[in-house]
Amino acid sequence: MNTIPLLLYLAAGILYAVYFSTRSATIGRAGTAVLASGSLAHTFVIGMQTMAAGHVPIAGTTQAISTFVWLLALAYLCMEMTTEERALGVFIVPLLVALQLIRALNPVVERRVPILESAWFGVHVASLLFAYASFALACVIGITYVLLFKEIKAKHLGFFYKRLPSLDSLDLMNARTVTLGWVFLTVGVVVGAVWAAEAKSGPIYDPRVQAMSLADPKILGAVVSWAIYTFALYTRRLGWGGKRAAYLSALGFAIVLFNFVPIGYFLTRSHNFGG
List C-alpha distances in Å: 14 to 18, 30, 93: 6, 11, 9
Residue among 118, 110, 90 nearest 14 (CA): 90
Separation between Cα atoms, residue 62 and residue 66, nearest integer Å = 7
CB atoms within 10 A of CB 21: 12
Residue 114 has pLDDT above 60, yes or no: yes
Residue 23 has pLDDT above 60, yes or no: yes
- Kindly state whether residues 152 and 72 are assigned to the same domain: no
- Kindly state whether residues 77 and 135 are assigned to the same domain: no
- Kindly state whether residues 102 and 152 are assigned to the same domain: no
Domain end marker among 69, 88, 112: 112
pLDDT of residue 154: 86
Average pLDDT for 189-193? 95
Average pLDDT for 35-49? 95
Average pLDDT for 46-54? 87
Residue 82 CB contacts under 8 Å (≥ 6 apart), including other chains: none
Lowest mean pLDDT among 12-21, 43-52, 61-70, 266-275: 266-275
Three-state secondary structure string covering 180-228: HHHHHHHHHHHHHHHHHHHHHCCCCCCHHHHCCCCCCHHHHHHHHHHHH
For residue 211, with 0-12 CB atoms within 10 Å meaning exposed, 13-18 middle and 19 or more buried, which class applies?
A: middle
- Kindly state whether residues 1 and 58 are assigned to the same domain: yes
Separation between Cα atoms, residue 61 and residue 264, nearest integer Å = 6
- Kindly state whether residues 124 and 147 are assigned to the same domain: yes
Residue 143 has pLDDT above 80, yes or no: yes
Separation between Cα atoms, residue 245 and residue 175, nearest integer Å = 8
Lowest mean pLDDT among 13-22, 65-74, 111-120: 111-120
- What average pLDDT does the chain have? 91
Q: Mind listing the pLDDT tens digit for each residue in 61-110?
A: 888 999 999 999 999 999 999 888 899 999 999 999 999 999 998 888 77
Supply the range of the domain harboring residue 214. Answer: 118-275
- Kindly state whether residues 50 and 136 are assigned to the same domain: no
pLDDT of residue 275: 52
- Kindly state whether residues 153 and 265 are assigned to the same domain: yes
- Kindly state whether residues 38 and 54 are assigned to the same domain: yes
Residue 141 CB contacts under 8 Å (≥ 6 apart), including other chains: 88, 170, 173, 174, 177, 246, 249
Half-sphere exposure of 142 (CA within 13 A, CB side): 25
Binned at pLDDT 50, 70 and 90, residue 273 comes out as: low
- Kindly state whether residues 152 and 75 are assigned to the same domain: no
Separation between Cα atoms, residue 173 and residue 87, nearest integer Å = 14
Enter the pTM of the model: 0.91
- Kindly state whether residues 177 and 71 are assigned to the same domain: no
Residue 127 has pLDDT above 90, yes or no: yes
Residue among 146, 222, 155 nearest 188 (CA): 222
DSSP state of 115: G
Average pLDDT for 198-216? 83
Q: Report how many domains make up the chain.
A: 2
pLDDT of residue 15: 98
Domain end marker among 112, 142, 162: 112
- Kindly state whether residues 203 and 174 are assigned to the same domain: yes
Separation between Cα atoms, residue 101 and residue 91, nearest integer Å = 17
- Kindly state whether residues 103 and 161 are assigned to the same domain: no
pLDDT of residue 91: 95
Domain end marker among 112, 139, 166: 112
